Amino acid sequence: MNGKVYITGAGPGDKGLITVKAAEALKIADVVFYDYLVNIELLDYCKDSCESIYVGKKSKNHTCPQEDINQMIVDYAKMDKTVVRLKGGDPYVFGRGSEEAIKLLENGIEFEEIPGITSGIAAPAYAGIPVTARNVSSSVAFFTGHPPVRRERDLQWDKISTGIDTLVFYMGVSNAPIIVNNLMENGRSKETPVALIRWGTCPEQEVVKGELHNIIAKMEELDFRPPAIMVVGEVVSISDKLTAVAEEAQMAY
């Protein structure tokens, strides 16, 4: 008799952003496979007998291949275990959750996907940047910063550069020069505001803002490193307005 697997989103970093349903799954788990960007304080929800297994992936430093993770999840479920696959953000947004789900289906194992708050929305929000705003941005698109941007055929830069108001690139720091150059070469104004958000929603969150033509220089000056997302669009300027309004309100108070 097989157990059940919960492919679960942990949210972007702030432990308070986990959903109630995800927390309840952790409470009943016999084993948890968790990722690099998961706040390990979330494991406090687990019972004492729960086994926690780290399977995180850093840039160029993967604990184990995805195929091995898939198989381990299957193996534990076949031992009649309740398994939680705890993934940063949302499992189906650049999280390989669908690959794990397919593997479970192939092995006849029951599973449930529990969505999580994705960093592409939460990190900008914590930086005062709404990904959409009336009269500013009525469209937003999410992209992985690697590896597709390394292959010109994977992204139609001529369409996304000017056809979408807000562009959010996950894992975009390493290939930021490629992203920026492609956007400018395909019609996006070089004065378009850009924000880079590192460790979004966490206490150590860092934000670097600039424009397409100078954001790379600012990154290099600060030695800005992953994990981070890149937000491109006029919505970035709203954070300056929110800051100004907040400062005025504080002074008035």
Residue extents of the structural domains in the chain = 4-114, 119-241
**The pLDDT value given to residue 149:** 47
Query: What are the C-alpha distances in Å from 38 to residues 99, 113, 124, 139, 213?
Result: 19, 17, 18, 29, 33
**The pLDDT value given to residue 247:** 62
pTM beyond 0.75: yes
Q: How far apart are alpha carbons 244 and 138 in whole angstroms?
A: 24
**The pLDDT value given to residue 240:** 86
Q: How far apart are alpha carbons 73 and 244 in whole angstroms?
A: 49
**The pLDDT value given to residue 125:** 95
pLDDT in tens, the chain (253 residues): 789 999 999 999 999 999 999 999 999 999 999 999 999 999 999 999 999 999 987 665 556 899 999 999 999 999 999 999 999 999 999 999 999 999 999 999 999 999 999 999 999 999 999 999 999 999 999 999 865 444 555 689 999 999 999 999 998 898 999 999 999 999 999 999 999 999 999 999 999 999 999 999 999 999 999 999 999 999 999 998 887 765 666 566 6
Q: How far apart are alpha carbons 124 and 130 in whole angstroms?
A: 6
Q: How far apart are alpha carbons 99 and 92 in whole angstroms?
A: 9
Pairing of strands 193-198, 206-211: antiparallel
CATH architecture, range 119-241: 2-Layer Sandwich (3.30)
The DSSP letter of residue 142 is E
Domain range 4-114, CATH class: alpha beta
**The pLDDT value given to residue 76:** 97
**The pLDDT value given to residue 234:** 97
* Contact between 243 and 209 (Cβ < 8 Å): no
Structure tokens at 229: 């997302």
Q: How far apart are alpha carbons 196 and 207 in whole angstroms?
A: 6
Would you name the residues annotated as active-site residues?
Answer: 35, 57, 171
**The pLDDT value given to residue 174:** 87
Backbone φ and ψ for 5, nearest 5 degrees, come out as -115, 135
* Contact between 141 and 232 (Cβ < 8 Å): no
Identical fold for domains 4-114 and 119-241, yes or no, is no
